[in-house]
């Protein structure tokens, strides 16, 4: 296992795709900071580093879909996976090693993003408004969310030998989850009461507040809130907006997705016919 990890780490840090994606994530971090700074100067408002600090979760979540599928797909394409089996590596070891490498790739991207945020970001926007303890909790949740993303991508990529097909599948899963999270977010943000505007001789008048039929309440709201907390993309949106309601639930959901994906992937990969 140690020799396998050593060889994969050597391959990882020589991988051009990793550094290209890392450059993109770093550039995105710089862009966000500069835009926040320009907006605050033009509008005369105060922008905090919190507004840009956690955008990395969804960005790296998308980049992870590309990296995992291409990195693992190259193993299939070059016959490396078959060679690993021939020399005696167990399938469980191969699967876990691949997951560790994928998470490490995401950590590299995250580290570069934070390096920009805590240097250029603090210089232009100042220190985060939230306390240190809350900041550490949010960073921890973000790391677990990314680990859950990677677990799903490794599951898909290890079971689909075609590099292009795996890439398409991972990206479809990512954007599909983005859409689902956006829809649920809109449902949860619906106001409890609504008012109608009407034009009168006296100008614009508001009607009396009326119950909003689209407002979620009771068990239905609890269900959609849980689903929103469960989805990695839902967690990402909450972190970006710094509006995490159930931090422990988010962490447990990410751990559950990670464990289920790894165990399920190993069970299927054990019996996969590798040509």
Neighbouring C-beta atoms of residue 177, cutoff 10 Å: 19
- Alpha carbon of 90 to those of 1, 73, 77, 95: distances in Å? 9, 19, 20, 9
pLDDT of residue 233: 94
pLDDT band for 201, please (50, 70, 90 cuts): low
Q: What is the pLDDT of residues 119-130, one digit of tens each?
A: 998 888 888 888
pLDDT (tens digit per residue) in 47-78 = 778 888 898 999 999 999 999 999 988 877 87
Name which residue leads in pLDDT, 98 or 209. 98
Mean pLDDT, rounded, for 191-219: 70
> Using CA atoms, how far apart are residues 9 and 19, in angstroms rounded to an integer?
14
Q: Within a 10 A sphere around the Cβ of 266, how many other Cβ atoms?
A: 18
Give the tens place of pLDDT for each residue, 16-42: 999 999 999 999 999 999 988 888 787
pLDDT, tens digit (0-9, with 9 covering 90-100), for 230-275: 999 999 999 988 888 899 999 999 999 999 999 999 998 887 766 6
Give the pLDDT of residue 88.
72
Q: Which residue, among 17, 210, 41, 228, has the nearest Cα to 124 in the 3D structure?
A: 41
**pLDDT confidence band for 184 (50 / 70 / 90):** very high
Q: What per-residue confidence (pLDDT) applies to 214?
A: 80
* pLDDT number for residue 204: 59
Average pLDDT taken over every residue of the chain: 87
Q: What is the value of pTM for the model shown? A: 0.89
Q: How far apart are CA 119 and CA 221, in angstroms?
A: 40
Whole-number percent of the chain with pLDDT over 70: 93
So what's the pLDDT on residue 218? Answer: 86
pLDDT tops 90 at residue 147: yes
- Are residues 12 and 18 in contact, defined by beta-carbon separation less than 8 angstroms? yes
* Residue 242 CB-density burial (10 A; 0-12 exposed, 13-18 middle, 19+ buried): middle
């Amino acid at each position: 296992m140690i020799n396998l990890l050593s060889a994969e780490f050597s391959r990882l840090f020589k991988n051009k795709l990793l550094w290209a994606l890392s450059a993109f994530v770093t550039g995105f971090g710089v862009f966000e900071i500069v835009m926040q700074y320009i907006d605050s100067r033009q509008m005369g408002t105060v922008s905090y580093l919190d507004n840009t600090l956690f955008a990395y979760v969804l960005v790296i979540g998308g980049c992870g879909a590309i990296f995992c599928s291409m990195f693992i797909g190259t193993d299939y394409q070059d016959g490396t996976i078959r060679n690993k089996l021939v020399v005696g590596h167990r399938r469980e070891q191969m699967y876990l090693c691949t997951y560790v490498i994928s998470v490490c790739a995401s950590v590299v991207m995250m580290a570069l993003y934070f390096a920009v945020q805590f240097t250029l970001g603090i210089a232009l926007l100042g220190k985060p408004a939230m306390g240190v303890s809350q900041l550490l909790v949010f960073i921890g949740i973000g790391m677990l969310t990314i680990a859950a993303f990677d677990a799903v991508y490794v599951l898909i990529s290890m079971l689909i030998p075609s590099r292009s097909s795996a890439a398409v599948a991972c990206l479809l899963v990512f954007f599909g989850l983005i859409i689902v999270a956006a829809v649920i977010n809109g449902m949860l943000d619906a106001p409890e009461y609504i008012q109608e505007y009407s034009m009168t001789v006296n100008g614009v008048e508001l009607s009396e507040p009326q119950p909003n039929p689209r407002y979620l309440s009771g068990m239905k709201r609890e269900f959609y809130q849980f689903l929103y907390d469960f989805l990695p993309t839902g967690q990402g949106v909450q972190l970006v907006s710094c509006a995490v309601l159930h931090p422990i639930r988010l962490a447990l959901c990410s751990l559950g997705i990670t464990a289920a994906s790894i165990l399920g992937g190993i069970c299927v990969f054990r019996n996969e016919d590798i040509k």
